[in-house]
């Protein structure tokens, strides 16, 4: 990574965490979007897919609370290990259930959500403890590169396997690959140094801080809700709509790969050139463009307009995500007092994200009951695509680094 040469180098622990993140990304890139397509092929109902994702987010929110207590009382490395292992259990369950998976989406959603909750809680804690204010954008940029790189090859491989093999057998093959990669990530997690914490678990106090208007954490919490609202629907729906329009997993794999390639380039550029005092303008530009790229679907919802939406979002989302993530963690680490409650702050951050995700999923389920066709869904997609603008409105209330004033 050439752009690391003139900045603070990431240490061994950071690179191990990035490796685990890359493996996690590779496994999810292989299978996560295809899980929704798999369920669609078994039972072609948007409500079923929405319910699976809603249960996943509800279980994830509960897992954050429990994982936070374990991270505070036991060890965050153990928590990340449990999270990755539970993701492996999810794919093992899908393999065992086969065609009956659609009848057990609640159970599968619980496995997916708890595994994700444990993993992301521990990952974000380790990220906060391993990085510092001056290398946080670098870590985010490198992590974005790894996630994007994993997202280039993995979906194309999945689409090719499903296309060449009997389709449901092909799905079982890629789910088996994901299971193996998650198990490898569990093994690598044993190389991380154990990180114990102590003290009382005061999550309630931090949650109260998040609803106290005028505090910095209040504005971070609002920003996270807005970020989660877009993620809740876009995380599964765009890929599913591409498959429905093209009726071809190979096309879907190419769509995901192209989006990841574009995202990789943007993550590289943003990670290299981003300066702390540009974060505000970067979030504004990224959020506006992520909404505008959805306008072509107003004319027609087809493979090409969905490609414009997905690839366009991949192009501009790093402008939005890298500074936003850094700003949130800078607030957590702004003093020794706040850093002392980093576990609670990370849990509160993830809960705010999930409030947004769950809210958008409830809206999605309400919408598909009344307007279930893909063509009618485009209006929902367009509106939700502009929600990140509210993120910018919230973070405008956070002070710029080094005392710079707006």
Query: How far apart (Å, rounded) are the C-alpha atoms in residues 194 and 74?
Result: 10
Q: In the 8-state DSSP scheme, what is residue 183?
A: H
Cα(153)–Cα(259) distance, integer angstroms: 11
End-to-end CA distance of the chain: 33
Provide the pLDDT for residue 368.
92
Chain position carrying tokens 């309400």: 366
What is the structure's pLDDT at 285? 92
- Look at residue 9 in the predicted model and tell me its pLDDT: 62
Please enumerate in sequence order all residues whose Cβ is within 8 A of that of 258, keeping only pairs 6 or more positions apart, or say none: 307, 311
Beta strand ranges found along 163-304 (DSSP E): none
Closest CA to 197 of 334, 341, 348: 341
pLDDT in tens, the chain (406 residues): 444 443 446 777 888 888 888 898 888 888 887 899 999 988 889 999 999 999 999 999 999 899 888 877 777 788 888 888 888 888 888 888 888 988 999 999 999 999 998 988 888 888 877 777 666 667 777 887 788 788 888 888 988 898 888 767 888 899 898 889 888 888 888 887 776 666 678 888 889 988 888 788 899 999 999 999 999 999 899 999 999 999 888 999 999 999 888 888 887 888 777 777 778 888 899 999 999 999 999 888 899 999 999 999 999 988 888 888 888 878 887 777 777 888 888 889 989 999 999 999 999 999 998 887 888 888 999 999 999 999 999 888 776 555 444 4
CB atoms within 10 A of CB 380: 18
User: From CA 142, how far away is CA 315, in angstroms rounded?
Assistant: 16
Q: At what angle do helices 279-292 and 374-385 cross, to 10 degrees?
A: 160
Half-sphere exposure of 232 (CA within 13 A, CB side): 35
**If you classify domain 10-190+202-401 with CATH, what class do you get?**
mainly alpha
**Contact (Cβ atoms closer than 8 angstroms) between residue 231 and residue 403:** no
| pLDDT for the residue numbered 1 | 45
């Amino acid at each position: 990574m050439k752009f690391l040469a003139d900045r603070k180098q990431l240490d061994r622990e950071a690179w191990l965490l990035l490796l685990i993140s890359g493996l996690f990304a590779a496994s999810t890139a292989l299978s996560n979007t295809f899980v929704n397509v798999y369920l669609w092929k078994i039972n072609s109902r948007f409500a079923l897919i929405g319910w699976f994702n809603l249960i996943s987010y509800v279980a994830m929110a509960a897992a954050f609370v429990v994982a936070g207590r374990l991270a505070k009382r036991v060890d965050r490395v153990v928590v990340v290990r449990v999270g990755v292992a539970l993701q492996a259990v999810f794919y093992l369950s899908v393999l065992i259930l086969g065609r009956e998976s659609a009848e057990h989406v609640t159970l599968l959603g619980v496995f997916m959500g708890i595994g994700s909750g444990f993993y992301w809680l521990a990952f974000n804690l380790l990220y906060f403890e391993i990085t510092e204010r001056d290398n946080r954008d670098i870590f985010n940029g490198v992590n974005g590169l790894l996630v994007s790189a994993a997202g280039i090859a993995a979906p194309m491989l999945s689409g090719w396997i499903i296309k060449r093999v009997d389709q449901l057998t092909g799905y079982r093959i890629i789910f088996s690959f994901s299971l193996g990669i998650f198990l490898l990530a569990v093994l690598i997690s044993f190389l991380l140094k154990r990180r114990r914490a102590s003290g009382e678990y005061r999550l309630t106090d931090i949650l109260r801080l998040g609803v106290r208007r005028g505090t910095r954490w209040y504005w971070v919490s609002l920003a996270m809700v807005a970020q989660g609202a877009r993620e809740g629907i876009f995380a599964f729906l765009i890929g599913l709509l591409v498959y429905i329009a093209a009726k071809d997993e190979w096309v879907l794999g190419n769509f995901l790969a192209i989006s990841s390639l574009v995202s990789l380039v943007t993550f590289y550029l943003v990670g290299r050139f981003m300066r702390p005092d540009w974060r505000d303008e970067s979030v504004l530009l990224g959020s506006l463009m992520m909404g505008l790229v959805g306008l072509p679907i107003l004319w027609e919802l087809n493979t090409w307009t969905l490609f414009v939406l997905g690839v366009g979002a991949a192009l501009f989302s790093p402008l939005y995500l890298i500074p936003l993530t850094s700003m949130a963690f800078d607030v957590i680490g702004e003093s020794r007092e706040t850093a002392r409650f980093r576990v609670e702050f990370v849990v509160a951050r993830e809960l705010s994200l999930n409030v947004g995700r769950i809210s958008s999923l409830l809206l999605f389920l309400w919408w598909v009951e009344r307007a279930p066709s893909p063509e009618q869904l485009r209006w929902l997609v367009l509106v939700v695509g502009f929600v990140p603008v509210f993120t910018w409105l919230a973070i405008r209330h956070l002070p710029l680094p080094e005392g710079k004033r707006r």
